[in-house]
Amino acid sequence: MKHLGLPLCLICIFAPMLSAQKPELIPQYEKALREAKTDSARAMALQYLSFSLAHTDIKRSVAYGNEALKVAEQSGSAWLVSRCQNGVGWAFFSSGNYARARALLDSSIQYMRATQDYFDLASVCNNQGWVYLKLGDNLGALRYFREGLDAAEASKDKGRIAFMNRSLGSFYNAQKEFDKSIPHIKRALEIFKMLRDSGAMNDCLFSLGNVYSGLGQVETAIEYYKITLPFAKQNGDLLGAGMILENWGMALSELRRFDEAFSKLEAARQQLEPLDEQIELAFLDYIIGSTYLMKGDTMQAIAPLENARQMGTKLQLDDVLLEVFPALHRAYSAIGLPEKAYQTLLDYQTMLDTSAAHAGKLNLQRLKTEFETERKEKDLQIKTLENKHLQSRFWLALAGLGVALMLGFAFYYRARQRRKTNAVLKTKNLEILAQKAEAERLRERAEHSEAVKEKFLAAMSHEIRTPMNAIVGLSQLLDAGNHEPTVAHNISIIRQSSEHLMTILNDVLDLAKIEAQKIELRPQPIALVPQLQFIRDTFAAKAREKGIAIRLETDANLPQNILADPVRFGQILNNLVSNAIKFTNAGEVIISATRTDHQPPPPSPVATAGKDAGEVVISATCTDHQSTNH
């Protein structure tokens, strides 16, 4: 609704604030004033009365405001004066005295800044922002809103932070910068949800509805109005309910659902008339008349538009009159009353000229104030420079002395640190030399121990293996003879045990040789297949004990003999087949030997088939019902 833009913005801006000026609280404030026994209590009661009467009784509001300031100044409390300047300043703003409101709020802001009272500074900056917006200084308004938000953040008070975000969102809404408005209002809504402030949450939802209405998303806006209206009625907020219905009606007229729109607008009138809110009723009459114009019912539009003009003229509501005059001009022109249309146009032009002159006067006053402030700042700067000039030589000499002392201290400190560093380095060098000597001593000791071990093992290999060979030989001779079964069994045990002990001894000696890298292989021809058959037969009994089979598989092209160290080769085959039987619980063990054409690597292998014969690969495969292991 293009012709409804300005009132809608005003409703978006002042909805939460007008709701706070509840006439039903006036008797309570009057009682508090009568019972006040201190200047502080009396000043606060007068301030609240001034604030609450700003819309309904401007004369009394101004009188109460001036009295509140007088009492606060008599109390001698700068804090109380600042608080009253904030409250009374907002009352003057509500009554249309913007210049007085700005002066009072500016004085309060200076005190709050000086005392770093961030909690109250946020509120005062918020009020000053609305004053500057009303005076047409959008940049100044934005500056104060942002300062208020910064102060709220500094106070760390969640309620203040949410309050300032809601105000900043409403400011952007008034500037039709809806993309900037939505994040601030939604942040305020989240904080109010956390604080469980249902009234403030409802205000935020109402503001979001107005934002979406401004974006042209009228259906979405209506959904928000549906949510907020029951809460306002439930809490007896007639003013809030009236403005919600007012905006709802405008949204419906945007959709050209005029019957529903008039129903909502009439319901808004029923909410506002008992409150005697003349400003809101003037807005409402203008909206109703404009809606009739949109519908094409010009005759019906004239009466509410004339009511809006009369009330706007009486209350000096320039914002309303600037919209009403063009609408009335269109209406009178449409019904063929050129004289009234022309007179309306003249009144409109006169008002524009008056508004321009008033705006120029306000602007001139603002420029004068800024000039005086700047002049005072310049005078202060000049005096400061003069004082600095008189003291410059003293400070220069003092600075020179300070620099000299700092340089001397720096040189002393550097020399001292260098001495400390050299001492630390010397100590570290001695520690490193000691550690190096200790490491050399340990290395020599380890080498000596290794040599002693080698000598011991070499001696033991002769000292132990000689009697062991005798024991093994004699036990084999005894085992070859005919003896009683018991004696033969005992001799067999002696032979097997001595052979096993000899094998362990050889393994220990071999391990020592491997560690000393002195092991030697003595290859000689070995019949391959008979050797494999011997291994199979050797472990057949052990396999039967576990209930598994053992068999041998050989290629037909295997060589008859291979060149290998018989001892090492036998050890490898024994270990290979022994492990296969050990890890096979069911199934069979297959000893396989195959020949490949791949040439063996250069180092001497344990076993080889001979020159140009390729490799012989021997493996023991364990197969069972669940897995195959190699």
Q: Name the domain boundary from 338, 354, 370.
A: 354
Handedness of CA 54, 55, 57, 59 (dihedral sign): positive
Q: Cα separation of 222 and 261, whole Å?
A: 11
pLDDT band at 3 (very low <50, low <70, confident <90, very high): very low
* For residue 627, pLDDT beyond 50: no
Tokens 């807005």 sit at which residue? 283
Q: Name the domain boundary from 354, 376, 392.
A: 354
- How high is the pLDDT of residue 355? 67
Q: Cα separation of 465 and 476, whole Å?
A: 16
pLDDT band at 384 (very low <50, low <70, confident <90, very high): low
- How high is the pLDDT of residue 187? 93
Q: Which two tokens stand for residue 66?
A: 């001036």
* For residue 351, pLDDT beyond 90: no
- How high is the pLDDT of residue 625? 40
Burial of 485 (0-12, 13-18, 19+ CB in 10 A): exposed
* For residue 360, pLDDT beyond 80: no
Q: Of 123-127, 309-313, 350-354, where does mean pLDDT reach its minimum?
A: 350-354
High-pLDDT (> 70) share of the chain, %: 83
Highest mean pLDDT among 53-57, 90-94, 453-457: 90-94
Q: Of 182-186, 291-295, 389-393, 554-558, where does mean pLDDT reach its minimum?
A: 389-393
Highest mean pLDDT among 249-258, 314-323, 463-472: 249-258
| Residues 200 and 166 sit within 8 Å (Cβ to Cβ) | yes
Q: Cα separation of 468 and 477, whole Å?
A: 14
Of 181, 190, 167, the C-alpha closest to 211 is 181
Q: Cα separation of 125 and 117, whole Å?
A: 12
| Segment (H or E) for 553 | strand 549-554
Q: Cα separation of 6 and 340, whole Å?
A: 24
Burial of 271 (0-12, 13-18, 19+ CB in 10 A): buried
| Residues 90 and 125 sit within 8 Å (Cβ to Cβ) | no
CA 255 vs. chain centroid, Å, equals 41
48 domain residue, yes or no: no
Query: Which ranges constitute the DSSP H helices of 481-614?
Result: 485-515, 528-546, 566-582
Q: Cα separation of 272 and 247, whole Å?
A: 13
Tokens 């000229």 sit at which residue? 353
Query: Which ranges constitute the DSSP H helices of 76-197?
Result: 78-94, 98-115, 118-134, 138-155, 158-174, 178-195
559 domain residue, yes or no: yes
CATH code: domain of residue 612: 3.30.565.10
283 domain residue, yes or no: yes
126 domain residue, yes or no: no
Tokens 């129903």 sit at which residue? 263
Q: Name the domain boundary from 336, 354, 372.
A: 354
The whole domain housing 603 covers 524-629
- How high is the pLDDT of residue 374? 62
* For residue 617, pLDDT beyond 80: no
* For residue 118, pLDDT beyond 70: yes
CATH code: domain of residue 343: 1.25.40.10
* For residue 11, pLDDT beyond 50: no
| Residues 161 and 153 sit within 8 Å (Cβ to Cβ) | yes
Q: What's the mean pLDDT in 392-421?
A: 85
47 domain residue, yes or no: no
3-state secondary structure at position 525: strand
| Residues 209 and 228 sit within 8 Å (Cβ to Cβ) | yes
199: Cβ–Cβ under 8 A, 6 or more apart, which residues? 231, 235, 237
3-state secondary structure at position 332: helix
Q: Of 25-29, 147-151, 241-245, where does mean pLDDT reach its minimum?
A: 25-29
- How high is the pLDDT of residue 376? 60
Q: What's the mean pLDDT in 56-76?
A: 84
Q: Cα separation of 526 and 68, whole Å?
A: 124
| Residues 298 and 331 sit within 8 Å (Cβ to Cβ) | yes
Q: What's the mean pLDDT in 474-502?
A: 81
- How high is the pLDDT of residue 629? 39
pLDDT band at 146 (very low <50, low <70, confident <90, very high): very high
| Segment (H or E) for 608 | strand 607-608
If you ran DSSP here, which 8-state letter would residue 597 be given? S
597 domain residue, yes or no: yes
* For residue 373, pLDDT beyond 60: no
- How high is the pLDDT of residue 17? 43
- How high is the pLDDT of residue 126? 92
- How high is the pLDDT of residue 356? 64
- How high is the pLDDT of residue 186? 92
pLDDT band at 313 (very low <50, low <70, confident <90, very high): confident
The three-state DSSP-derived secondary structure of 371-387 is HHHHHHHHHHHHHHHHH
| Buried-state track 334-346, b at ≥16 Cβ within 10 A, e below 16 | eeeeeebbeebbe
Q: Of 338-352, 405-419, 586-600, where does mean pLDDT reach its minimum?
A: 586-600
552 domain residue, yes or no: yes
Give whole-number Cα distances, 521 to 15, 66, 569, in Å: 104, 119, 10
- How high is the pLDDT of residue 12? 41
* For residue 541, pLDDT beyond 80: no
* For residue 610, pLDDT beyond 50: no
Structural domain tally of the chain? 2
Facing residues of 621 across strands? 590
* For residue 607, pLDDT beyond 60: no
Q: Cα separation of 264 and 269, whole Å?
A: 9
222 domain residue, yes or no: no
- How high is the pLDDT of residue 614? 41
DSSP for 501-518, please give it.
Answer: HHHHHHHHHHHHHHHTT-
What is the average pLDDT score of the chain? 80
Sheet holding 615-623, edge to edge: 549-554, 588-596, 615-623, 628-629
* For residue 369, pLDDT beyond 80: no
Q: Cα separation of 15 and 224, whole Å?
A: 15
* For residue 613, pLDDT beyond 80: no
Q: Of 319-323, 413-417, 438-442, where does mean pLDDT reach its minimum?
A: 319-323
3-state secondary structure at position 527: strand
Tokens 């833009």 sit at which residue? 5
